[in-house]
Amino acid sequence: MPKYILIIGACGQIGTELTLALREKYGNDHVIASDIREGNDELMQSGPFEILDATNYDNLEEVIAYYDISEIYLMAAMLSATAEKFPMRAWNLNMNTLFNVLNLAKEKKIDKIFWPSSIAVFGPNTPKENTPQNTIMEPSTVYGISKQSGERWCEYYFNKFNVDVRSIRYPGLISWKTMPGGGTTDYAVEIYHKALSESSYMCFLKEDTKLPMMFMDDAIRATLQIMEAPESKIKERSSYNLAAMSFTPKEMAENIKAILPKFTIDYSPDFRQNIADSWPSSIDDSKAQKDWKWKAEFDLQKTTETMLENLKNRV
Ligand SMILES: NC(=O)c1ccc[n+]([C@@H]2O[C@H](COP(=O)([O-])OP(=O)(O)OC[C@H]3O[C@@H](n4cnc5c(N)ncnc54)[C@H](O)[C@@H]3O)[C@@H](O)[C@H]2O)c1
């Protein structure tokens, strides 16, 4: 029997591209997109869609039964910068949606879960360079606290109830199809839009703030890969470190200037600087490489070329 998949938060930056990739792989009708709002035309026209608030267990259960869902990708969350403004809303959304999905699996109503964590689980006392899989984790942001708690609960549900939940600590994600949803690494997407429309960008982080980043195609490939891996290969039931590249806003601007020589950048750090300062600069993802053969394909150069090419064609 072919499986049916539900994406929660399908209209967001990752959900949009993840839904399209899963539809390509499993067939449009087998991948149900859901969100509290409608998404872009490409997403809405490519297959089934449900308006669904994932904090409501009963509504979620109804959709699962109706479509005979066996796998859930839970992409709904409040991201780092927005969560600092609405701490309780962020905690409620990020934790309750996860509990709802974990409990559906505990009750054997679904078989498998993907839930994304983040480099935000690390904090100011974590080793900054080549941050190991297992290390000090003392997150200092609302978002990071919710992600670290989420990781603990995922591992707990695996150990206690044998729930097959798989997770990746995504770095900052760069993409052109959908705008980012309120994170600290959003500058790395906005910069390309502004480079093309205004030839200049005012960056909200300092020029030397080095953060781990990844192009969306790599992130989607990693997500499909970890979900397809045999169960015996998944050794981490909290979440896997994942890496592709690390760079500063200055390095990114120089990379863009090589293609668009008129481009200029200025810096005006805001509250997001504090969040960025608490995060690692680079990530050791050797466990993901070893356990399920992860390997990144996009570096900064290839990311810049792909971003500018696709955004230019859209204008
Ligand atoms: N984008 C990144 O750089 C990044 C990095 C690390 C981790 N992550 C994680 O990946 C996941 C997806 O991130 P994203 O960037 O696509 O976020 P996003 O903000 O772009 O999208 C989230 C989606 O969830 C939806 N949503 C909000 N409340 C909902 C609810 N109650 N029920 C159903 N849907 C709801 C929103 O409408 C939105 O479309 C999140 O868990 C995020 O923490 C993202």
Nearest ligand 1 atom to alpha carbon 186: 3
Domains of the chain: which residue ranges? 5-170, 173-213+244-314
Whole-angstrom distance, CA of residue 122 vs CA of residue 144: 7
Helices (H), the chain: 13-26, 41-45, 57-67, 80-85, 87-106, 142-161, 187-197, 216-228, 249-257, 272-277, 286-292, 300-314
* Residues 11-67: tens digit of each pLDDT: 999 999 999 999 999 999 999 999 999 999 999 999 999 999 999 999 999 999 999
Pocket test for ligand 1, best of 37, 63, 79 (most atoms within 8 A of CB): 79
Chain centre distance of CA 173: 7
* pLDDT range class, residue 185, cuts 50, 70, 90: very high
- Tens-digit pLDDT profile for residues 103-162: 999 999 999 999 999 999 999 999 999 999 999 999 999 999 999 999 999 999 999 999
Question: Cα–Cα distance between 244 and 168 in angstroms, integer?
Answer: 13
Ligand 1 mean position, distance from CA 9 (Å): 6
CATH class of the domain at 5-170: alpha beta
Distance 261 CA to ligand 1 centre (A): 34
Residue 114 confidence (pLDDT): 98
The CA–CA distances, whole Å, from 282 to 128, 194, 243 equal 7, 26, 8
CA of 63 to the centre of ligand 1 (A): 20
Q: Show the ligand 1 pocket: residues with CB < 6 angstroms.
A: 8-9, 11-15, 35-37, 52-55, 75-77, 79, 93, 116, 118, 170, 172-173, 180-181, 183, 185
Q: So what's the pLDDT on residue 32?
A: 98
The pLDDT score that the predictor gives to residue 1 is 58
Instruction: Give the pLDDT confidence of 76-102 residue by residue, as tens digits.
Output: 999 999 999 999 999 999 999 999 999
Residue nearest to atom 12 of ligand 1 (CA): 75
- pLDDT at res. 315: 60
Banded model confidence at residue 313, pLDDT cuts 50, 70, 90 = confident
For 244-288, write each residue's pLDDT tens digit: 999 999 999 999 999 999 999 999 999 999 999 999 999 999 999
Q: Tell me what pLDDT residue 39 has.
A: 97
Say if domain 173-213+244-314 classifies as CATH 3.90.25.10.
Answer: yes
0.95 exceeded by the pTM?
yes
Active site residue 156: no
